[in-house]
Structure 1
Amino acid sequence: MEGEISGEAQVAIAKHEVSGKAKTPSLMPGYGRINMWCGSLDYQMDNGPYILGTINRRDIADSIRRLDCSAEVPTDEALKQFDDFMSGKDLPCG
Structure 2
Amino acid sequence: MSRILDHFSGIEHLIRRKLSFIVLPGFDGVALYDVMDFFFRGLFKGVLNYRASAIAYNFFLALIPLVLFLFTLIPYVTSNDLQGTLLDLMDKMIPASVFSM
Q: With structure 2 as the length reference, what TM-score do the two structures score?
A: 0.23
Q: Per chain length, whose mean CA-contact separation is higher, i.e. which structure has more relative contact order (CA < 8 Å, sep 6+)?
A: 1
Normalised by the length of structure 1, the TM-score is 0.24
Which structure carries more helix by proportion?
2
